[in-house]
Structure 1
Amino acid sequence: MTDATSATVPAADVARAGRLKAGLKRRYAREGRFKMYGVLAVCIAIGFLLLLLGRIVTQGYTAFYAHEITLPVYMDPARIDRAYPQGTNFELLVAEQQLARYGIADDARGTKATAMRGLFSSELKFRAAALIRENPALIGQTVTISAPAADESDLFYKGEISIDTPSDQRRLSDEQIGWLNRLKTEGSVRTHFNGALFTNGDSTEPELAGVLGAVIGSALMLLVTACIAIPIGVGAAVYLEEFSARNRLTDLIEVNINNLAAVPSIVYGLLGVAVFINWAHLPRSSPLVGGLVLGLMALPTIIIATRSSLKSVPPSIREAALAMGASRTQTVFQHVLPLAMPGVMTGTIISMAHALGETAPLLLIGMVSFVPGIPHAINEPTGALPSLVYIWENASERAFHERTAAAIMVLLAFMIVMNAAAIVLRRRFERRW
């Protein structure tokens, strides 16, 4: 009896050990598969990100350099008005002189002169007029003038237009391409960094268009957004979390704040049109209206982030301050809020970065219109980086498409800087409990 029992117990233990070992093996296999799925998901996400960034960079890097054409120009006294040099058709003057230099005769309709004019930007006439205005003694002399190449000429020098392309698929004729090659062979074409992209406002001519107006418009708009959303959002969060009574009304407010954070941004644009433009009669397409709309949109995010930061402060901080005789207000503003400030700053900066990239509300309040120049006040019409991307992408000229990608790169750089600042602030001031 005893021998039989001792003989069967080891067999049961062996079976149980086998089952445990098989179970451990299956569990480790599941953990290995889960880790593999996680790594695969991260790789896919990084792959899509690199694909997106690669597409933007390959399409937009050419916008950061441009070509300039330098030509000798005889300031013909018979063609130039000393009193009003701006009225002189310098483009036609340069085109005719360039044709004569190449020994090409024009027809009665001036077809070849028109074709030659199309190689140079309209900036040529402004630079020539400025030279005469500053020094009228140049009239009758030959001077050297440099001007940007026209958009199609610039694309040809960048290799995006080829003579092998069928003529019905390009705006440059074979003759114009021959002239461009001749100018480059003569050393009249210079490649340089496209500083105008960062120093000019928007323009109807791609070679003269820049992002400075949109950058300043976005900065002014974010300034208005920050001045409105941050004080109101932080104040509302502090009151709801630290001072308000817990009842149905505060529960209703909390639910609505969470719902407002999920409302589509275009709804805020409709609200801005109805309230700030149609009712309050604020200037359309201005950073003031854009900042107000984006401020309303950023409020729920700031309130939720601030309340979460306040909740993360241990109750012992409050209890210790109250035990030392501090009032409720002193406890909150001198102890709790400073400790929660890293989370508050992080949520605020992230909400500002999110507002910077919003497009739908700006389109509804009129920031989709063409606004040249640089804004100097929050009530002046201006554009913003997201709306500028929308405008340039819908433009018919091919040269605007590379500038669209360049504007996206500038916008991404702003957002990366803002999000990096949020991470740095959190790591610098964060305390672990």
Structure 2
Amino acid sequence: MTDMSPSERPKGWASEEFVNNLAKRQRSEKRFRRMGLGAIVIALALLATLLVSIIGRGYTAFIQTYITLDITFSEEIIDKKGTRDPVDLRAASYGNLVREALRKEFPDVTQRRELRQLFGLVSKDAARQLRIMVEKDPEIIGKTVPVTVLASDDVDMFNKGYIPRDVVQDDRRVKDNEIKWIDSLEAAGDISTQFNSRFFTGGDSREPEMAGIAGAMVGSLYTLLVTFIISFPIGVMSAIYLEEFAPRNKLTDLIEVNINNLAAVPSIVFGLLGLAIFLNVAHLPRSAPIVGGLTLALMTLPTIIIAARASIRAVPDSIRNAALGLGASRQQTAFHHVLPLSMPGILTGTIIGLSQALGETAPLLMIGMVAFIADIPGGAFDPATVLPVQIFLWADSPERAFVEKTSGAIMVLLAFLVFMNALAVLLRKKFERRW
């Protein structure tokens, strides 16, 4: 039929109507391809715009402004008795050392209002830093040492260009005299920018320059650990039972329908469930990773069960029949043959479910993990927060410096999500078997 010459084909094939319809279908196919390609281009453009916006605002969160001052560790302020008692050293007013250093740097500043502005150039963390230095080396008392201390958030924002100097003084947080002092320090080489290690090692703070994500990262780790310990074994055992042992009747059909429906339930509903069961009934500690992990485990279970069932179902029946034919029981067949072969797909689904749980905020807000937590949690029962909630809290803060902290935390969260999804893809590529 395909070897016929045009003259030998049926007349309908060569008719004008057939040719026009064929050309119309081909044009329709080309339009569809262009639409699909256009949709992909638009999606990539929007994604690139989002990433550029986040990175453009957040990369400066990884650097911080510091001021170098000549600090005189006066014995009159630190240890009047001269006993070097650790209790007295810890209780000394180290903030006075910073203020005295600023007075010496700018002796012309005498008015109370200007002095308050001058002292505001340095972060409140400077006093803690000096205290740690004295506690580590009491021999430093009585000496004058150049110390690099953390600048305030306003100085940091000004140094990074987020606060312009060419606007009216009333419209910016950094005033003219503060700009003059900053320029003087910069001309003397006393202002520098360094990698902001505190962002990764410190907990949350009311002061933007002192805020970090370590507490939220540890809280996320404990929460995900509890989620995995609860959801993985229950989800895998449920999938094995439903696929290998459960009879096919109306009850199992009802269970399957409910599992599929639970996978589509809004996450805030699981938050309400966790609030009702784990807090109001079980009286577990509020804002603790144990409660967050249990709540997210309920949300992740349907995803793991569905993925595990699909992976178990993909194992050929010939594997089961061969094991049964050699005398293995159904339990031995399921756990010694079917489960190991389906484990790559199960792990992939589990990682995807955990990555979804890592980015959830609504259920954790319902169980009280929105509280301000400055300390890094030491266990699953300690008060904690997680990265998405930390981002939510910072985004609601009025200080300009928290904008870059928010974007920086989003970058870290996206890096974790990309890593977990890439790990799922690698596991599937490495261990997946095609039958």
Tell me which residue corresponds to 2:135: 133
Q: Which amino acid aligns with 1:121?
A: S
Tell me which residue corresponds to 1:52: 50
Q: CA deviation at 1:336?
A: 2.0
TM-score by length of 2: 0.92
Give the direction of change, closer, same or farther, for the CA distance of 1:11–1:370 in structure 2 (3 Å limit): closer
**Matched residue of 1:147: which SS?**
strand
Alignment match of 1:106 (pick from 106, 110, 115) = 110
Give the direction of change, closer, same or farther, for the CA distance of 1:13–1:172 in structure 2 (3 Å limit): same
Structure-2 separation of matches of 1:329 and 1:370: 49
Q: CA deviation at 1:385?
A: 0.4
Q: Which amino acid aligns with 1:102?
A: F
Tell me which residue corresponds to 1:37: 35
Tell me which residue corresponds to 1:152: 154
Instruction: Map residues 212-361 of structure 1 onto 2, 5 A cutoff.
Output: 212-361=214-363
Tell me which residue corresponds to 2:3: none
**Matched residue of 1:411: which SS?**
helix
Q: Which amino acid aligns with 2:69?
A: L
- Count of residues in correspondence between the two structures: 423
Structure-1 separation of matches of 2:350 and 2:136: 51
Q: For structure 2, list consecutive stretches of 5 or more residues without a partner in the other structure.
A: 1-6
Give the direction of change, closer, same or farther, for the CA distance of 1:391–1:73 in structure 2 (3 Å limit): same
Give the direction of change, closer, same or farther, for the CA distance of 1:15–1:408 in structure 2 (3 Å limit): closer
Structure-2 separation of matches of 1:324 and 1:11: 60
Deviates further, 331-340 or 281-290: 331-340
Structure-2 separation of matches of 1:137 and 1:430: 63
Task: Please give the root-mean-square deviation of Cα atoms over the aligned residues, in Å.
Answer: 1.9
Structure-2 separation of matches of 1:170 and 1:67: 19
Deviates further, 125-134 or 298-307: 125-134
Q: Residue by residue, what CA displacement relative to the aligned partner does 1:309-361 show, whole Å, maximum 9, x if unpaired?
A: 12222223223332333222222222222222222111111000000000011
Q: Tell me, yes or no, if the aligned pair for 1:72 and 1:144 is still in contact at 8 Å.
A: yes
Deviates further, 160-169 or 117-126: 160-169
Structure-1 separation of matches of 2:192 and 2:313: 61
Q: Residue by residue, what CA displacement relative to the aligned partner does 1:255-284 show, whole Å, maximum 9, x if unpaired?
A: 111111111111111111111112111111
**Matched residue of 1:78: which SS?**
helix
Alignment match of 1:117 (pick from 115, 119, 123) = 119
Structure-2 separation of matches of 1:229 and 1:394: 32
Q: Tell me, yes or no, if the aligned pair for 1:92 and 1:117 is still in contact at 8 Å.
A: no
Structure-1 separation of matches of 2:108 and 2:27: 80
Q: Tell me, yes or no, if the aligned pair for 1:75 and 1:142 is still in contact at 8 Å.
A: yes
Q: Which amino acid aligns with 1:383?
A: T
Percent identity of paired positions between Structure 1 and Structure 2? 49
**Matched residue of 2:212: which SS?**
coil
Tell me which residue corresponds to 1:380: 382
Tell me which residue corresponds to 1:5: none
Tell me which residue corresponds to 2:63: 65
Q: CA deviation at 1:12?
A: 7.6
Structure-1 separation of matches of 2:281 and 2:115: 54
Tell me which residue corresponds to 1:366: 368
Q: Which amino acid aligns with 1:272?
A: G
**Matched residue of 1:401: which SS?**
helix
Give the direction of change, closer, same or farther, for the CA distance of 1:122–1:30 in structure 2 (3 Å limit): same
Q: CA deviation at 1:10?
A: 8.3
Q: CA deviation at 1:217?
A: 0.8
Deviates further, 215-224 or 328-337: 328-337
Give the direction of change, closer, same or farther, for the CA distance of 1:326–1:391 in structure 2 (3 Å limit): same
Tell me which residue corresponds to 1:193: 195
Q: CA deviation at 1:244?
A: 0.6
Q: Tell me, yes or no, if the aligned pair for 2:387 and 2:409 is still in contact at 8 Å.
A: yes
Q: Which amino acid aligns with 2:113?
A: T
Tell me which residue corresponds to 2:4: none
Q: Tell me, yes or no, if the aligned pair for 2:71 and 2:147 is still in contact at 8 Å.
A: yes
TM-score by length of 1: 0.93
Q: Tell me, yes or no, if the aligned pair for 1:92 and 1:113 is still in contact at 8 Å.
A: no
Structure-2 separation of matches of 1:81 and 1:111: 30
Q: For structure 1, list consecutive stretches of 5 or more residues without a partner in the other structure.
A: 1-8
Structure-1 separation of matches of 2:410 and 2:50: 11
Structure-2 separation of matches of 1:135 and 1:419: 47
Q: CA deviation at 1:39?
A: 0.5
Structure-1 separation of matches of 2:109 and 2:348: 68
